Amino acid sequence: MNPNNPLAGNKIKIAFFGTPDFSVKILSLLQKAGLTPSLIVTSQDEPSGRKLILTPSPVKTWAKENNIEYIQPESLKTGTEKILDKLSNFDLFIVAAYGKIIPKRVLNLPKFGTLNVHPSLLPKYRGAAPIQSAILNGDNETGTSIMLLDENLDHGPIIAHGKLNIEALHPNFLELQEKLAEISGQLLIETIPNWINRKITPKEQDHDLATFTKKIEKDFGFIPAENILDQNLPMEKATVIERKVRALNPDPGTFTIIKSQKKDIRVKITKARMENDKLIIERVVPEGKQEMTWREFLNGNPIN
């Protein structure tokens, strides 16, 4: 038994549902604390890259590297008798960015229910894009929530909150995701023993204060070229663009169409900053090229 296990002799059997890098960070922290799940449930392999190579999720890769059993059900809503049998002997489910709907009859299987990690201060930013929304809206504070999962979207009662002040950080998506995953993992480690020992009373969310986010589509990342090239762009517009670049990279990304003297070029904008209330574009990826500085791109592609 791991001497760092916060449950000491009260060993419980955990199944973990997750898919992206955010989930991997949480898994690693749980493992270090002696709370390693004995089963991983993750999404199926998906085509990735230009060649659409079938690629495992980061969580599947982590499970294989750590010799932990994993399953990849196409759905938990239909044809689940075999899955129900597989999950029937667990004490606790933990869900962190699984990406699929988990029906009520699965949520209710474990003795201690299903805890869900959501990277926002619920009821704010329910839905698919809570981290991006905190950046896009210029929030000074964000955080993570652990809730008792029910069949509705990010609706269940709150078990614990962890807050993060980001006013001075100006993080991009990957930086903020990493920080929130760290907070989420540590919060789970602190919360699970108290939950198992019935020391926490779930608190109903104030549903009247709920805000919802949707999956961000590629078109949302378009930025008109005139705004990129305008040296006197108003600060309000410049701030919106800078936040967009931080929030949407690496996926789905931010881009513009530059009309050079040669041709129209689709340019992905990967890094920008605000300096003296002005927008500074730093790094770009022109279509078919490697990443370069904005200045390098302009030098090689004179603008009409």
Q: Which of 213, 229, 257 is the last residue of a domain?
A: 213
Whole-angstrom distance, CA of residue 85 vs CA of residue 91: 14
User: 42 lies in a domain?
Assistant: yes
Do both 169 and 274 map to the same domain?
Answer: no
The amino acid at 210: A
Tens of pLDDT along 252-299? 999 999 998 778 999 999 999 999 999 999 999 999 999 999 999 999
CA distances from residue 226 to 275, 301, 304 in whole angstroms, order as listed: 19, 16, 12
User: 1 lies in a domain?
Assistant: no
User: 7 lies in a domain?
Assistant: no
Question: What pLDDT shows up at residue 5?
Answer: 54
User: 206 lies in a domain?
Assistant: yes
- Among residues 184, 173, 175, which one has the least CA distance to residue 145? 184
Do both 287 and 185 map to the same domain?
Answer: no
Question: What pLDDT shows up at residue 214?
Answer: 93
Do both 106 and 249 map to the same domain?
Answer: no
- The more confidently predicted of residues 302 and 178 is 178
User: Is pLDDT at 59 greater than 70 in this prediction?
Assistant: yes
Do both 80 and 190 map to the same domain?
Answer: yes
Question: What pLDDT shows up at residue 239?
Answer: 97
Whole-angstrom distance, CA of residue 270 vs CA of residue 294: 10
Quickly count: other Cβ atoms within 10 Å of residue 232's Cβ. Answer: 6
Do both 129 and 276 map to the same domain?
Answer: no
Question: What pLDDT shows up at residue 47?
Answer: 86
Handedness of CA 285, 290, 291, 296 (dihedral sign): negative
Do both 109 and 236 map to the same domain?
Answer: no
Tens of pLDDT along 139-181? 999 999 999 999 888 999 999 999 999 999 999 999 999 999 9
User: 271 lies in a domain?
Assistant: yes
Segment holding 55, helix H or strand E: strand 53-55
CB neighbour list of residue 26: distance below 8 Å, 6 or more residues apart: 18, 96, 117, 181, 184, 185, 188
Q: Which of 161, 178, 213 is the last residue of a domain?
A: 213
Question: Which tokens belong to 97?
Answer: 């960015």
User: 120 lies in a domain?
Assistant: yes
Q: What are phi and psi of 61, to 5 degrees?
A: -60, -45
| Mean local confidence (pLDDT), 6-20 | 82
- Among residues 92, 84, 88, which one has the least CA distance to residue 30? 92
Q: CATH code at 226?
A: 3.10.25.10
Question: What pLDDT shows up at residue 194?
Answer: 96
Do both 254 and 289 map to the same domain?
Answer: yes
- What is the chain's mean pLDDT, rounded? 93
Indicate the pLDDT class of residue 10, thresholds 50, 70 and 90: low
Do both 95 and 38 map to the same domain?
Answer: yes
Q: Which of 166, 186, 213 is the last residue of a domain?
A: 213
Q: CATH code at 154?
A: 3.40.50.170
Question: What pLDDT shows up at residue 3?
Answer: 46
Question: Which tokens belong to 284?
Answer: 């770009």
Whole-angstrom distance, CA of residue 260 vs CA of residue 286: 12
Contact 14, 35 (CB under 8 A): yes
Q: What percent of the chain has pLDDT over 90?
A: 84
User: 169 lies in a domain?
Assistant: yes
Whole-angstrom distance, CA of residue 113 vs CA of residue 188: 14
Question: What pLDDT shows up at residue 49?
Answer: 77
Do both 130 and 30 map to the same domain?
Answer: yes
Segment holding 191, helix H or strand E: helix 173-196
Whole-angstrom distance, CA of residue 133 vs CA of residue 33: 31
Do both 265 and 126 map to the same domain?
Answer: no
Question: What pLDDT shows up at residue 158?
Answer: 98
Contact 215, 128 (CB under 8 A): yes
Tens of pLDDT along 78-100? 766 788 888 999 999 999 999 99
User: Is pLDDT at 1 greater than 60 in this prediction?
Assistant: no
Whole-angstrom distance, CA of residue 239 vs CA of residue 262: 30
Question: What pLDDT shows up at residue 7?
Answer: 59
Question: What pLDDT shows up at residue 262?
Answer: 76
User: 51 lies in a domain?
Assistant: yes
Whole-angstrom distance, CA of residue 149 vs CA of residue 104: 9
The residue whose two tokens read 């230009």 is 50
Do both 233 and 189 map to the same domain?
Answer: no
Question: What pLDDT shows up at residue 293?
Answer: 97
Q: How many domains does the chain have?
A: 2
Do both 197 and 290 map to the same domain?
Answer: no
Domain housing 223: 218-300
Supply the pTM of this predicted model. Answer: 0.93
